[in-house]
């Protein structure tokens, strides 16, 4: 039996029901790890109780933020993270909190919780959809943040990043269309916020080497993907991994996702890259 076959048998043996046990064990072992602590980039979409793949309940979000605060974690914007990574000054425990698509419920559900702890989020906006709804590009059909809300959030220190103009899968477009999505969204959001837009998130997590180069030459400083992982490296400043929080994820999973054994846990259960 080769190694790959052995691994897949192991995966079948470790049923999803065993996940909380593995999470508990990894969390107990975490402090013994000799590798440097990761600095995870957390990914949220909508805070609502629907249980959809793109949703997390507001209560779970509150508990996660309270946990970060209680345990002395600092929260960086993605620009702050990129600057610290470049400068070699990234010091755990620290995390980045990102929200994709800019659902309007950020304002009522996330903002007051983040305010309570002095945390600043990075919100990725598809510029054509400001003040509209998400039904045409997302499995959720919900209202999105409008101009005045985005300007207010930016003024309060939250970072607004680009999620293109129209939320396409960029590799499916012509090079000219892709470049327009990447460059014009930056300009539109800069006019809206009065701030330089330095962060980018690939819609659906889709990118190629050519797309990455366009993001770099457009003047962005960092970009995030849907690739799972909690350790960013300087070489991948334009393809940073993230940690997705899903509706079924409890505090045990949250702690694991912030810790040194997240990669091993991902491989053990072959967690999917979704949601998109």
Cβ 203 to Zn ion shortest distance, Å: 5
Report the nearest approach of Zn ion to the CB of residue 163 (Å): 5
Neighbours of 120 (CB within 10 A): 17
The mark string for 55-84 relative to Zn ion (x by CB under 5 A, - otherwise) is: ------------------------------
Closest CA to 145 of 111, 107, 200, 182: 107
Q: Which is nearer to Zn ion, 54 or 85 (CB)?
A: 54
The verdict on 181 binding Zn ion (CB under 5 A) reads no
Among 39, 41, 78, 101, binds Zn ion (CB under 5 A): 101
- Judged by beta carbon, residue 101 or residue 181, the one nearer Zn ion is 101
Please report the sign of the dihedral spanned by the C-alpha atoms of residue 141, residue 197, residue 156, residue 111.
Answer: positive
**DSSP calls for 167-218:** ---GGGS-HHHHHHHHHHHHHHHHHHHSS---EEE-GGG---HHHHHHHHHT
* Closer Cβ to Zn ion, 48 or 101, answer by number: 101
Determine the residue with CB nearest Zn ion. 100
- Write down the least CB distance from residue 62 to Zn ion, Å: 23
Q: What is the DSSP letter of 15?
A: -
Q: Is the dihedral of CA 32, 33, 36, 39 positive or negative?
A: negative
Stretch binding Zn ion (CB under 5 A), from 21-29, 98-106, 154-162, 214-222: 98-106
User: Contacting Zn ion (CB under 5 A), which of 48, 100, 159, 249?
Assistant: 100
The SS3 of residue 96 is strand
Please give the residue ranges that form the binding site for Zn ion (CB under 5 A).
100-101
């Amino acid at each position: 039996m080769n190694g790959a076959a052995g691994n897949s048998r192991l995966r079948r043996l470790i049923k999803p029901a065993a996940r909380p046990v593995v999470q508990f064990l990894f969390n107990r072992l975490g402090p013994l790890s000799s590798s440097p602590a990761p600095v995870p980039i957390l990914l949220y979409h909508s805070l609502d109780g629907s249980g959809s793949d793109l949703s997390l309940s507001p209560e779970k979000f509150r508990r996660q933020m309270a946990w970060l605060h209680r345990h002395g974690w600092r929260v960086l914007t993605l620009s702050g993270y990129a600057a610290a990574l470049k400068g070699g000054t990234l010091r755990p425990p620290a995390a980045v909190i990102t929200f994709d698509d800019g659902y309007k419920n950020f304002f009522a559900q996330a903002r007051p919780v983040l305010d309570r702890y002095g945390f600043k989020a990075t919100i990725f906006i598809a510029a054509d959809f400001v003040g509209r709804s998400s039904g045409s590009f997302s499995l959720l059909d919900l209202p999105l943040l409008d101009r005045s809300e985005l300007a207010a959030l930016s003024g309060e220190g939250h970072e607004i990043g680009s999620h293109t103009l129209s939320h396409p899968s960029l590799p499916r477009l012509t090079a000219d269309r892709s470049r327009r999505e990447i460059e014009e969204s930056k300009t539109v959001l800069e006019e809206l916020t009065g701030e330089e837009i330095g962060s980018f998130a690939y819609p659906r997590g889709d990118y190629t080497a050519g797309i990455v180069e366009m993001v770099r030459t457009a003047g962005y400083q960092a970009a995030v993907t849907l690739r799972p992982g909690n350790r960013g490296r300087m070489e991948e400043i334009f393809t940073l991994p993230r940690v997705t929080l899903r509706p079924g994820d409890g505090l045990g999973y949250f702690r694991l996702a912030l810790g040194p054994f997240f990669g091993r846990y991902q491989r053990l259960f072959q967690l999917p890259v979704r949601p998109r």
